[in-house]
Amino acid sequence: MEKIVDDTIDVTEKVYVPIEKKINLTIKEAAEYSNIGINKIAELLRNPMCNFVLYIGNRKLVKRKEFEQYLSSVREL
């Protein structure tokens, strides 16, 4: 089977996606988005009951919608 490659698209070019449109966030993006420090977010992600962490290999990402739900459900961090 022959692969079809479109030479008009440059896949190395970075595309800016606003945080509110992203499905998953890095810890740094989640900190900027929520105004919570990266150390506190990292601590939350280490909790085994955390439902907004997504593991990609050794990397941790924050599921934005679940993170928003968590933030709206807690009173104090």
Give residue 66's domain range.
19-73
- pLDDT for position 23: 96
Burial class (CB in 10 A: 0-12, 13-18, 19+), 22: middle
Its pTM surpasses 0.85? no
**17-71 residue pLDDT tens:** 998 899 999 999 999 999 999 999 999 999 999 999 999 999 999 999 999 999 9
Closest C-alpha among 54, 57, 33 to residue 45: 54
Task: Give whole-number Cα distances, 69 to 2, 17, 63, 64, in Å.
Answer: 45, 21, 10, 9
Within a domain: residue 23?
Answer: yes
Within a domain: residue 69?
Answer: yes
Tally of domains within the chain: 1
Instruction: Check whether 6 has a pLDDT greater than 80.
Output: no
Within a domain: residue 41?
Answer: yes
With contact defined as beta carbons under 8 Å apart, do 64 and 23 qualify?
yes
Within a domain: residue 39?
Answer: yes
CA neighbours closer than 13 Å in the CB half-sphere of residue 59: 9
- pLDDT for position 14: 82
Give bridge partners of residue 54 from the DSSP assignment: 61
The CATH number that applies at residue 28 is 3.90.105.50
